[in-house]
Structure formats: C-alpha cells, structure tokens
Amino acid sequence: MKDIGLLHNVTISDHDKCEICVESKFTMKSCKSVQRESELLELIYSDLSDFKNNLIRGGKRFYITFNYDCSRYTVVYLLRSKDEAFEIFLKYKLEVEN
C-alpha cells in the first residue's frame, strides 16, 4: 500500500516485526518416532462428532470415524443419533476381521 501511495510516513524495518510473527517462523523440534501397532484390531482411534445442526441426506446428524493404527486406514459412518455408535463399531469390527 505504501508503494502505491495509500500510506504516508510509514517505515517498516526487519526489527519492527511483531513477536507472534517471529515465533511462528521458529522450527519445532521433531517428535520421537512412534511405533505402530501390527496386530489386527489392536489399536483403533475413533471420533464421534456432529454436522453443527445441519441435516444431510437421509436425516443423518452425526458421523463417527475409525482409524486403524496399523495401516492408518480411516472409515467414516453416518449416524442419525449418537446411540448408534456401538452398533456401528461392531459393524466396523466385523468388516475388518473379514
């Protein structure tokens, strides 16, 4: 904006950067490596959430994800209510075992 004449008497130097801008440029230390599970159904991550009061096709309001630790394969199921979660987990378990 200064180059096209919209700002006057503004000087910006490398020393005037805000603290947050400087901190965001820092490189983070890498995390130690994590050993992945190799057994079937040994570790599964799951998350149950909603669509923020929006209905989608079929009257579904919620979704549940299952993330298989060994392969990081993720499956998403749509739910009408949260009480369907256990039933969906059993369905997921049967699919993984077969």
* Predicted TM-score of the model (pTM): 0.58
Query: What is the chain's mean pLDDT, rounded?
Result: 78
pLDDT exceeds 70 at position 82: yes
Q: pLDDT tens digits for 22-68?
A: 667 766 677 677 677 777 678 888 999 988 877 787 888 899 999 88
CA distance 25 to 16: 15
CA distance 93 to 76: 13
Collect all residues with Cβ–Cβ distance below 8 Å to 88 and sequence separation of at least 6.
Answer: 64, 77, 79
Question: For residue 69, which of 42, 96, 97, 31 has the smallest C-alpha distance?
Answer: 42
Name the token pair of 27.
């490189």
CA distance 81 to 56: 13
pLDDT exceeds 70 at position 11: no
User: What single-letter amino acid sits at 81?
Assistant: S
